[in-house]
């Protein structure tokens, strides 16, 4: 397995594609797959077409970002492109359109893409030599719907998936994903990978349980809103549990998100804010009649050490690394002045790596927030 990572700040789509290809060491037709991540300032549709034209024989997926990651650190206003090269690895992508309304429409396309690389739906052992990468649009709250549809097709809950919700910057809420030059703003781009290489997909959570639990008495799963906790206003209960005023609580949501108990693990649901009616908006679904754990931020540098050590224990010689980290983490690391420290630890762990700041992360069939999802491959 070989990975190359290149980046550009050339502003026009075709110029950016030219610059990216010029930096690569091999011929464009020699790569197994191409993945790119681009700042929202780019004309994403034109960029997707321009990059696909450079790699006509490759499977190409892309996503808009809220920031990019490469060997030089956390970036903005750039395009980062990575390649995957391996004779033992087969890949096939698919684009899911109208994902928030009609994800099942693409069932046949997903089945065909899986079959084309030798992944059988319903095979209880399919996860041993295959996984999926998913980039999902971030404006329509469709991550859970798209994941549920995919796992109903693959029929193997152990099948690994590493995903990131496409990001954006600025005031206009718009995200893009693409497959082989075709772009959508409501759906997902999947890349299915069948390989004999070792691979490791994991999630890093920098939060610790506080021991304080909250009961969801009323919630709107579609709009990701909690109306009441413990039978009272969600905002007032959240503030009281923290031991602060409601006004103070508004500025403490990053350090104190909710943890959901799913399949024996805790997964973060970030708070987006509070409504005038005392409701709480989230970036992930929380179902009524469930129990949440109030989480407190831990030591991100220590967590990073644990993640890197864990990866190296499984993949002693990493060859490919893709990182999808929540934008709230990126911003928090900047405030804490530890972004450079985190990148240095990645540099010490991986020969090269790339990724992007996203609006949510997916691991398996779970959509969550304020975490890192990593995909690492070795020989």
% pLDDT > 90, the chain: 96
Reduced to 3 states (helix: H, G, I; strand: E, B; else coil), residue 182 is: strand
Phi-psi region of 30 (alpha: psi -120 to 50; beta: other; left: phi over 0): alpha
> What is the reported pLDDT for 310?
98
Give the separation between CA 157 and CA 89, rounded to whole angstroms.
22
Alpha helices in 135-291 (DSSP H): 143-154, 234-242, 246-249
Structure tokens at 146: 């798209």
Reduced to 3 states (helix: H, G, I; strand: E, B; else coil), residue 155 is: coil
> What is the reported pLDDT for 184?
97
User: Do 298 and 207 form a contact (C-beta atoms < 8 A)?
Assistant: yes
pLDDT tens, per residue, the chain with 379 residues: 999 999 999 999 999 999 999 999 999 999 999 999 999 999 999 999 999 999 999 999 999 999 999 999 999 999 999 999 999 999 999 999 999 988 889 999 999 999 999 999 999 999 999 999 999 999 999 999 999 999 999 999 999 999 999 999 988 889 999 999 999 999 999 999 999 999 999 999 999 999 999 999 999 998 999 999 999 999 999 999 999 999 999 999 999 999 999 888 899 999 999 999 999 999 999 999 999 999 999 999 999 999 999 999 999 999 999 999 999 999 999 999 999 999 999 999 999 999 999 999 999 999 999 999 999 999 8
User: Do 59 and 74 form a contact (C-beta atoms < 8 A)?
Assistant: no
> What is the reported pLDDT for 264?
85
What pairs with residue 62 in β-bridges?
36, 178
User: Do 92 and 117 form a contact (C-beta atoms < 8 A)?
Assistant: yes
pLDDT in tens, 139-168: 999 999 999 999 999 999 999 999 999 999
CA atoms within 13 A on the CB side of 379: 3
Structure tokens at 19: 């610059």
- Please give the backbone phi and psi of residue 54, each rounded to the nearest 5 degrees, phi first: -75, -25
User: Do 104 and 149 form a contact (C-beta atoms < 8 A)?
Assistant: yes
């Amino acid at each position: 397995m070989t990975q190359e990572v290149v980046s550009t700040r050339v502003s026009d789509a075709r110029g950016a594609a030219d610059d990216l290809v010029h930096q690569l060491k091999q011929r464009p037709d020699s790569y197994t797959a191409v993945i790119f991540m681009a700042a929202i300032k780019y004309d994403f549709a034109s960029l997707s077409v321009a990059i696909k034209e450079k790699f006509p024989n490759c499977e190409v997926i892309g996503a808009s970002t809220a920031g990019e990651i490469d060997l030089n650190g956390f970036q903005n206003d750039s395009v980062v492109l990575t390649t995957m090269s391996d004779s033992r690895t087969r890949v096939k992508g698919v684009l899911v359109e109208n994902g928030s309304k009609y994800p099942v429409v693409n069932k046949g396309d997903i089945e065909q893409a899986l079959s084309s690389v030798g992944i059988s739906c319903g095979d209880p052992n399919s996860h041993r030599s295959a996984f999926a990468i998913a980039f999902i649009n971030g404006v329509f709250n469709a991550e859970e719907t798209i994941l549920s549809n995919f796992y109903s097709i693959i029929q193997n809950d152990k099948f690994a998936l590493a995903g990131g919700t496409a990001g954006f910057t600025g005031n206009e809420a718009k995200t893009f994903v693409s497959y082989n030059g075709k772009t959508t703003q409501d759906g997902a781009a999947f890349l299915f990978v069948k390989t004999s290489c070792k691979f490791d997909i994991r999630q890093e959570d920098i939060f610790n349980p506080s021991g304080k639990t909250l009961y969801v008495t009323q919630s709107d799963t579609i709009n990701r809103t909690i109306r009441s906790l413990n039978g009272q206003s969600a905002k007032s209960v959240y503030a009281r549990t923290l031991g602060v005023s409601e006004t103070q609580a508004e500025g403490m949501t990053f350090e104190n998100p909710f943890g959901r108990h799913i399949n024996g693990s805790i997964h973060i649901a970030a708070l987006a804010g509070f409504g005038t009616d005392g409701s709480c908006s989230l970036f992930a679904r929380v179902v009524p009649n469930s129990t949440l754990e109030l989480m407190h931020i831990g030591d991100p540098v220590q967590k990073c050490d644990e993640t890197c050590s864990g990866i190296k224990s499984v993949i002693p010689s990493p060859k490919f690394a893709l990182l999808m980290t929540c934008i709230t983490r990126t911003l928090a690391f900047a405030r804490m002045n530890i972004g450079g420290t985190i990148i240095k630890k990645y540099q010490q762990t991986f020969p090269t790596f790339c990724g992007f700041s996203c609006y949510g992360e997916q691991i398996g069939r779970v959509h969550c927030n304020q975490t890192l999802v990593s995909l690492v491959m070795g020989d």
